[in-house]
Amino acid sequence: MLLTLSPWILLLLAVPVLLLGEGVVRRVPLLARYNLPVPVVGGLLCSALLLALNLSGLAVVSFATKVSTGGWTWLVTTEVEWAARPMKNLNLPLLVAFFTCVGLGAPVRILRTGGRALAVLLVAGTVLAVLQNTVGVALAIALGAPPLLGVVCGALTLVGGHGTALGFAPRFEQAGLASAATIGASAATFGLVAGGVLAGPLAEWLLRGRGKNVSGPAPVPLETSSSVASFFSDVRALGGLGRTAVGHALLIAGCVKAGAWVSFGLDRAGASLPAYMGALLVGFFVRAAHDGAGGTWLRSDVIARLAAVLLPLFLAVTLAALNLAELASVAGPMLVILVVNTLVSLAFAAWVVWPLLGRDHEAGVMVAGLVGFGVGSTGTAVAAMDAITRRRGPAPRAVALVPPTGGFFIDFTNAPVIGAFINLLR
């Protein structure tokens, strides 16, 4: 029996999935010790249960993940698009709202003082993109596969993610790689899982005395509730903020809507950028204008709380709907390239970027963020950093610098890298 469940059921399952992940992380100390994010654990368990059900032969169950309901898609589309009731991913409003929080939550003064760390992150991400493509192409040739497959299983999907993969798919198909969109979606899904699972453990391994200047607060005992993300605690904290939280939420909604028009304009101009880019830019400009005028109304702690609610919901919806059977059926050359590129990315982060950032607490959190967006996505990067900082204490520079680097700046360097490899291999 083939059964496709409504996307709204998937949305309703988001909170139970988060509670499942939270319960498992609390009861399995090893997961908390290695900073596995709660939504990643819960989402992957849900998708694994779905895979087990499908393999049992009782039923083939999947979730529809796109909706055209006007009330849900209005914020993330322009009126020009919205009138046609376009199909949009269910998780898109959550994703765009989260990246709006990234833009609004990064004080200009911290970005200005980012200096060397910001430069290291951006250059490292760009070098990583070149490295992933080079390794991917070399392996593809060695395995007798099309060289372009190495780029798809390299920076296109690992540094780039689903949005970049879909944006570039027509160019890869024109260059001769058939089904580039399908291959890219599978490879990006692999990266999402790998980044979510590996970023936290790598940072924990580095922070356990593997540097001259490892500093920062002592890890929170695993029995302490604050060491594990609690969705309802964040919701209750927002409730306690009352009108302040409502005001910030309305501002975020306004930025999301304005960002839809910015993204529409960028798309018309031929820029292949993620769907959240417009809202992220609007958030940056609003925060810069607020800080430049000496404003005090915008509160980073409130924005961080709202982001702490939006991100787990986005990851829970995204990961719970994953079809893990697609990963299991990934063709041999693809799987080899993806695994090797993931290992190369981890080695690059640990042996090159970690020393350059200073081998301290902030460096460890930034390395987790680099692996998060360099293999998976900015969402998994932030989730991994959140898991670390809940145990080991705040890392304000890392939290301020990694999201705009992985969600914004890296797109301006990764796109030319991908384009150069396409032109070289066509």
Give me the DSSP letters along 33-101: HTT--HHHHHHHHHHHHHHHHHHHTS-EEEE--EE--HHHHSTTS-HHHHTT---EETTHHHHHHHHHH
What confidence tier does 7 reach under pLDDT thresholds 50, 70, 90?
very high
> Could you tell me the two tokens for 85?
């009731």
pLDDT confidence of residue 111 = 64
Residue spans of the domains in the chain: they are 2-425
pLDDT confidence of residue 325 = 72
Taking residues 5-17, report their average pLDDT. Answer: 92
pLDDT confidence of residue 209 = 65
What confidence tier does 3 reach under pLDDT thresholds 50, 70, 90?
confident
Asked whether the predicted pLDDT for residue 338 surpasses 70, the reply is: yes
Asked whether the predicted pLDDT for residue 16 surpasses 60, the reply is: yes
pLDDT confidence of residue 224 = 45
pLDDT confidence of residue 378 = 84
Q: Pairing mode, if any, of strands 60-63 and 2-5?
A: parallel
Taking residues 268-287, report their average pLDDT. Answer: 81
> Could you tell me the two tokens for 116?
């060397």
pLDDT confidence of residue 222 = 46
pLDDT confidence of residue 163 = 67
Beta bridge pairs of residue 71: none
The three-class DSSP label of residue 118 is helix
How far apart, in whole angstroms, are the C-alpha atoms of residue 334 and residue 1?
31
Helices (H), 60-208: 70-73, 79-82, 92-104, 108-142, 147-151, 161-174, 180-207
Q: In this structure, what DSSP letter does residue 405 have?
A: I
The three-class DSSP label of residue 378 is helix
What's the mean pLDDT when you consider all of the chain? 85
What confidence tier does 217 reach under pLDDT thresholds 50, 70, 90?
low
Q: In this structure, what DSSP letter does residue 351 have?
A: I
* Torsion of Cα atoms, 148 then 149 then 154 then 159, to 10°: 90
Asked whether the predicted pLDDT for residue 87 surpasses 60, the reply is: yes
Asked whether the predicted pLDDT for residue 210 surpasses 60, the reply is: no
Q: Pick the residue with more confidence: 113 or 45?
A: 45
pLDDT tens sequence across 225-277: 455 667 888 888 888 989 999 999 999 999 999 999 998 898 888 766 667 78
Taking residues 388-398, report their average pLDDT. Answer: 88
pLDDT confidence of residue 225 = 46
How far apart, in whole angstroms, are the C-alpha atoms of residue 303 and residue 245?
8
Asked whether the predicted pLDDT for residue 212 surpasses 90, the reply is: no
pTM higher than 0.85 for the full model? no
User: Do the beta carbons of residue 191 and residue 299 sit within 8 Å?
Assistant: no
How far apart, in whole angstroms, are the C-alpha atoms of residue 253 and residue 247?
10
pLDDT confidence of residue 51 = 85
> Could you tell me the two tokens for 155?
């920076």
Asked whether the predicted pLDDT for residue 216 surpasses 70, the reply is: no
Q: Distance between the two ends of the chain, CA-based, in angstroms?
A: 43
Angle between helix axes 231-241 and 243-268 (nearest 10 degrees) is 110
Is 2-425 in CATH node 1.20.1530?
Answer: yes
Q: What percent of the chain has pLDDT over 90?
A: 38
- Residue 346's alpha-carbon distances to 36, 99, 343, 372, 409, in angstroms, are 16, 25, 5, 10, 21
Taking residues 111-120, report their average pLDDT. Answer: 79
Beta bridge pairs of residue 62: 4
Asked which of 55-64, 138-147, 156-165, 210-219 is least confident by mean pLDDT, the reply is 210-219
* Phi, psi angle pair for 279, to nearest 5°: -65, -35
How far apart, in whole angstroms, are the C-alpha atoms of residue 404 and residue 37?
20
> Could you tell me the two tokens for 164?
């970049």
> Could you tell me the two tokens for 378?
């900015």
- Highest mean pLDDT of the ranges 105-114, 203-212, 387-396: 387-396
pLDDT tens sequence across 348-368: 999 999 999 999 999 999 999
Q: How far is residue 45 CA from its own chain's centroid?
A: 18
Angle between helix axes 378-392 and 396-404 (nearest 10 degrees) is 180
pLDDT confidence of residue 223 = 44
What confidence tier does 132 reach under pLDDT thresholds 50, 70, 90?
very high
